[in-house]
Chains A and B, each alone.
Chain A
Amino acid sequence: QKEVEQDPGPLSVPEGAIVSLNCTYSNSAFQYFMWYRQYSRKGPELLMYTYSSGNKEDGRFTAQVDKSSKYISLFIRDSQPSDSATYLCAMSVSSGSARQLTFGSGTQLTVLP
């Protein structure tokens, strides 16, 4: 069993839809949770970073963490074609500068105009 499981999709939604992306994990030592967006043939860019259970909102993006269920989500409101990308969840045990991230396999999202 992988430490982090993520539905690879692909997921296709119409413009304006609410998108829900999810990851589950098995290692209860994970304390820090991130969502990255990766456009085709580019490096990932950080979207959201959180370390506590609950919701964190940033513009159209909301990250949700449920440590008791070992489940995290990313919600995208009013989705746009420019949101079409692969979304990767990532987790780490520590927050130090040398911490290693464990990534999900990524969900490919297409927002249709």
Chain B
Amino acid sequence: GAVVSQHPSRVICKSGTSVKIECRSLDFQATTMFWYRQFPKQSLMLMATSNEGSKATYEQGVEKDKFLINHASLTLSTLTVTSAHPEDSSFYICSASGGNGYTFGSGTRLTVV
């Protein structure tokens, strides 16, 4: 089946640094990539939608200059959390649309100290 590889699975960084999260579709072309954020015991909240070669569309309240999304190819999308702060600590999940439908990555646990 379709697989989306998300890395890293866990990252701890210092406040003020930037962190890049990668999602790769391994056996299909991801025409659309969705990035979600999930707080403990809460649902997935859509942050942005990106189409290959286009600028991402951000949800209301999500700072596009803080959460940089690049979807330069049909198999790779990246989310960069710039100047991370402790309140950015969360579980970030990507989801790729293509192939058999929707496939989620395994998530990245970001902790900013």
Contact = CB atoms under 8 A, between A and B. Distances in A.
B51 interface: yes
Interface in A67-113: 88, 97-101, 103-106, 108
Assign chain B's interface to a size class: 20 to 34
B90 to A, nearest CB: 12
Interface residues of A, number: 22
A88 B104 CA distance: 13
Contacts, number: 53
Chain B interface mostly:
strand
A11 to B, nearest CB: 13
B91 A41 contact: yes
Interface string B74-107: 0000000000000000010101011001101111
Given A41-B107, A45-B104, A98 B43 contact: no
A97 B101 CA distance: 7
A110 B106 CA distance: 21
| CB-based closest 5 A-B pairs | A43-B104, A105-B43, A103-B43, A97-B97, A98-B32
